[in-house]
Amino acid sequence: MEIIKECVTALQKVKEQNPLVHNITNYVTVNDCANVILAIGGSPIMADDINDVEDMVSIASCLVINMGTLNERTVASMIKAGKKANKLHKPVVFDPVGVGAGPYRNKTAEKLLKEIEFAVIRGNMSEVKFLSGLAVQTKGVDSVADEAGGIEAAKSLAADMKCVAAVTGKTDIITDGQRVCLIDNGHPILPGITGTGCMATALVGTFCGAVRDYFLAATTGVMSMGLAGELAERTLKGNEGIGTFRMRLFDSIYRLDGETMMKEGRIRIE
Amino acid sequence: MEIIKECVTALQKVKEQNPLVHNITNYVTVNDCANVILAIGGSPIMADDINDVEDMVSIASCLVINMGTLNERTVASMIKAGKKANKLHKPVVFDPVGVGAGPYRNKTAEKLLKEIEFAVIRGNMSEVKFLSGLAVQTKGVDSVADEAGGIEAAKSLAADMKCVAAVTGKTDIITDGQRVCLIDNGHPILPGITGTGCMATALVGTFCGAVRDYFLAATTGVMSMGLAGELAERTLKGNEGIGTFRMRLFDSIYRLDGETMMKEGRIRIE
Amino acid sequence: MEIIKECVTALQKVKEQNPLVHNITNYVTVNDCANVILAIGGSPIMADDINDVEDMVSIASCLVINMGTLNERTVASMIKAGKKANKLHKPVVFDPVGVGAGPYRNKTAEKLLKEIEFAVIRGNMSEVKFLSGLAVQTKGVDSVADEAGGIEAAKSLAADMKCVAAVTGKTDIITDGQRVCLIDNGHPILPGITGTGCMATALVGTFCGAVRDYFLAATTGVMSMGLAGELAERTLKGNEGIGTFRMRLFDSIYRLDGETMMKEGRIRIE
């Protein structure tokens, strides 16, 4: 399959270029995000002070904004950093953690979508459905959020926001509004640890820092996470559980290579 | 023993109900707390912005307040969230990390105890002795803090605050001021990693989110932590140490079942 | 070798005295720092509120300041805590994470160096070269930052700041401006996980809390980290990678003893 070969090339580029990825993220999974970026071949910067973020964006290849434990201080930094990245034509990846769960998160996501041009938005289905409704709502339509079809919600969000939408779930959906790619990698144990969503976003950011095709970057990042989850789960034996799984997940990301991607990647172009 | 059977039922309820547990906690062990809640069968929310916490409390089954790395911003959020939880009749669990170590922590704990009605307070002996003194002090007596008897301090705190007091140590003490339950599970290696206290509190919060008897919830949470520590330590061999222990602790929480509780739980009703 | 015997004694002292180490640090690696302090035999305190830090410094044996995710709130706390530690004649260790990467970090480092007397500054080569230039610059010379010789930069920083400079890299350099000690322990896999620099600093802080010779404390802390990295890497087999390495690193710190130091420590006095 053609797309998988491109994913393999994307992985090679990350290993060669070692992209610097600036993250303004939550304090729950920040360590996991830094370690997953290192494991795949990038270099993380975690900095969120408003006086610091523009300088960090200037040296980074990509900016990742994750609103997991958002607060007024860091939201201001996100906006400043995002605008700077847009100005410098560097990709910005957005993880709208928990959008839909309450007005502060919703307003913040709306603000970020208005102020910053994103390369990729990565969320779960309910987050993307919510944002999709938001996006449409601003154009006077508000029906998409009620639709069952996740693909339609993702396509709508991608088209409205002129970005790539990446929805992770049982089957992951990646779309730029036109092309749609479905990924069947992953394992039900993955949501049993915190941070797998944030880590998928961090991986997407790392690939965006190395390849200019963000549809490909999102696909490779999301598939890498799912694939690593499968490989890690397969090693579990006896009384091993979620703690061992979590450790092996990092092993699997670290060991992930083109051969495994070719053999085990399950990507369909819709 | 009757109480252990009830603990087994409590565990079943957590697995069935998957309670949403909102944590306003410290940034040292926040990831461990989220993972331990997932491992036992709950779902964590970590959110601490004053604009966000009331909405998160509204969708959660329990609120956990941990003052480990307290600051003025998060203390304000704790109070707002705690009051909201009280209003909605949702249980609030308090971990007074480091109370007694300095005036800022002491004043904050006092303020939280005054403003919020707690279902459970979970601390180590020196923290509970300190709070017990505080509680009494406000009634003009200040002798309890000097007493050797931890059970008396815990009972006094529970009675004064009309809550359950859970004291973790070599022998754990759980009391609602009347009933006293002593737990002999645990292992000396547990305090060799950071966060085992915070994780015990997070487990108590998860059980409080699933069962209405907070004395039982505190007992089950604290026993689960001690038991998991024992089971994890037992697996160590050769050059394995604290890193492997920490990983296996999560495995053990994840694998914990009623059969193990029945067989290995060491609970005495005083 | 004489110095290694002294390192062994330093380790014994840490195990005996269990020094309390107060850290004002970043939220990326804070959990790792707490766990590494515990693993070597110390006790961590993580507290960064301006109302809290002086009290924590008062009970601690050492203060570690790490500016990884600095912000205005925590920088104010760092200065207050540092001044208090100086007043109480307690050692302060500084990790100038990312200095040189942008003006906010540079100004903050400069401010901290001006306001606080450090016992040890621990950084990588580019950070120490940058600070060395800073230090000299304030005396009207600005050439050191361009010099190839890391030893010269470290000696210059140590002499100017009247402290010990510890530079970690392929070969680690420890100097008090006069004495120079080179350490050849470590492994190229170490920078493959986040936080090994921060953890090295936390170990230096732990040793500073137990021995009054900060040159020895810095040497022992840095060598312990490198040695643990080697030992952990040696255990890896099959598909094990960075996740397993990270866990074993904590095992190795925890198991580190005088015999291993004597046998495997590679220290040269220049």
| Residue C143 confidence (pLDDT) | 42
Structure-block tokens of residue C106: 């540079």
| Residue C144 confidence (pLDDT) | 42
| Residue C137 confidence (pLDDT) | 53
Q: Are the Cβ atoms of C28 and A34 closer than 8 angstroms?
A: yes
| Residue A212 confidence (pLDDT) | 96
C139 pLDDT tier (thresholds 50, 70, 90): very low
A24 pLDDT tier (thresholds 50, 70, 90): very high
Q: How many CB atoms lie within 10 A of CB A89?
A: 7
| Residue B230 confidence (pLDDT) | 98
Question: What are the beta bridge partners of residue B172?
Answer: B183
Radius of gyration of chain B from its Cα atoms, rounded to whole angstroms = 17
Q: What mean pLDDT comes out for the span A175-187?
A: 97
Q: With both helix axes pointing from N to C terminus, report the angle between A2-17 and A214-234 in degrees, rounded to the nearest 10.
A: 90
State chain A's mean pLDDT as an integer.
Answer: 94
State chain C's mean pLDDT as an integer.
Answer: 94
Angstrom distance (rounded) from CA C196 to CA C172:
13
| Residue B217 confidence (pLDDT) | 98
CB nearest C242 (choices: A58, A59, A254): A254
Q: What mean pLDDT comes out for the span B117-132?
A: 96
State chain B's mean pLDDT as an integer.
Answer: 94
Select the more confidently predicted residue: B139 or C64: C64
Q: Is the pLDDT of residue C135 over 70?
A: no
Q: Report the percentage of chain B scoring pLDDT > 90.
A: 92
DSSP reduced 3-state for A268: strand
Q: Tell me the shortest Cα–Cα distance from C255 to chain B, in angstroms.
A: 7
Predicted ipTM > 0.90: yes
| Residue B148 confidence (pLDDT) | 52
How do residues A85-109 score in pLDDT, each as one tens digit? 999 999 999 999 999 999 999 999 9
Q: Is the pLDDT of residue A143 over 50?
A: no
Q: Is the pLDDT of residue B145 over 90?
A: no
| Residue A149 confidence (pLDDT) | 79
- The tokens 């409704």 sit on which residue? A133
Q: Is the pLDDT of residue C147 over 50?
A: no
| Residue C136 confidence (pLDDT) | 54
Give the A:C interface size as CB pairs under 8 Å. 89
DSSP reduced 3-state for C186: coil
Q: Tell me the shortest Cα–Cα distance from B106 to chain A, in angstroms.
A: 25
How do residues C32-53 score in pLDDT, each as one tens digit? 999 999 999 999 999 999 999 9
Q: What mean pLDDT comes out for the span B166-181?
A: 96
Which residues make Cβ contacts (< 8 Å) with residue B117, sequence separation at least 6? B86, B92, B162, B163
Segments of B140-236 assigned E as strands? 164-168, 172-175, 180-183
Q: Are the Cβ atoms of C72 and A55 closer than 8 angstroms?
A: no
Q: Is the pLDDT of residue A138 over 80?
A: no
Structure-block tokens of residue A206: 């790392």
Q: What mean pLDDT comes out for the span A72-76?
A: 97
Which of A30, A32, A54, A194 would you mutate first to test chain C, the one with the most C CBs within 10 A?
A30
| Residue C148 confidence (pLDDT) | 52
In chain C, the residue whose alpha carbon lies closest to the alpha carbon of B106 is C52
How do residues B196-238 score in pLDDT, each as one tens digit? 999 999 999 999 999 999 999 999 999 999 999 999 999 999 9
With contact defined as beta carbons under 8 Å apart, do C65 and C116 qualify?
yes
Q: What mean pLDDT comes out for the span A245-270?
A: 97
| Residue A134 confidence (pLDDT) | 66
Select the more confidently predicted residue: C201 or A145: C201
CA angle (C175, C87, C54) in 5-degree steps: 105
Q: Are the Cβ atoms of C47 and B98 closer than 8 angstroms?
A: yes
| Residue C1 confidence (pLDDT) | 59
- Which of chain C's residues have a Cβ under 8 Å away from the Cβ of A43? none
Q: Are the Cβ atoms of C52 and B104 closer than 8 angstroms?
A: yes
With contact defined as beta carbons under 8 Å apart, do C90 and C117 qualify?
no
Q: Is the pLDDT of residue B33 over 60?
A: yes
A170 pLDDT tier (thresholds 50, 70, 90): very high
Domains and CATH numbers, chain B: 2-269 (3.40.1190.20)
How do residues C63-106 score in pLDDT, each as one tens digit? 999 999 999 999 999 999 999 999 999 999 999 999 999 999 99
